[in-house]
Amino acid sequence: QVQLVESGGASVQTGGSLRLSCVASGFTIRGNCMGWFRQAPGKEREAVAAIYIYSVGHVFISDLADSVKGRFTVSQDKTKNTIYLQMNSLKPDDTAMYYCAADLNVPLGGCKTALLGRGEAMDYWGRGTLVTISS
């Protein structure tokens, strides 16, 4: 069965760092569109970053939220079928539930668009991991 399991969420102080993990099972992340989203209470879901491993040694990465550019980095480890979100210089505005998602039906060229469309086309979602940043 297809499953995405996030981990790494915690409560940290402003300026701290966290590394979120998303372990995929039931499919291989290679050749599929993956991404990170976040949603704060009362606000719309926001795409954070997209990642597509399209061949051995080649990865497409697109930062999608201007507010996190230069602070967040998405990466992958295909041997572990896992994607990551390294978050540095955290701010209170980063407080949200963070979700990992996968779209198994779009090619590389449509991956970024799939996430920017609020993830409506994403096929699978993790349960989320909570990140809380205190002042």
pLDDT per residue over 94-122, tens digit each? 999 999 999 998 888 889 898 887 788 89
6 in Cβ contact with 21 (< 8 Å)? yes
CA 27/CA 8 separation, integer angstroms: 22
Q: Please, what is the end-to-end C-alpha distance for the chain in angstroms?
A: 40
pLDDT score of 106: 87
pLDDT for res 57: 72
* Paired tokens of 72: 């967040």
- What's the burial of 116, exposed, middle or buried (CB within 10 Å: 0-12/13-18/19+)? middle
Mean pLDDT of 78-87: 96
Residue 86, strand partner residues: 19, 73
Paired with 98 in beta bridges are 38, 129
Reported as a pLDDT band with limits 50, 70 and 90, residue 15 is very high
Chain-wide mean pLDDT for the chain?
A: 93
The count of other CB atoms within 10 Å of the CB of residue 135 is 6
- pLDDT tens digits for 37-52? 999 999 999 999 999 9
Q: DSSP alpha helices (H): ranges in the chain? A: 108-116
What confidence score (pLDDT) does residue 107 get?
Answer: 86
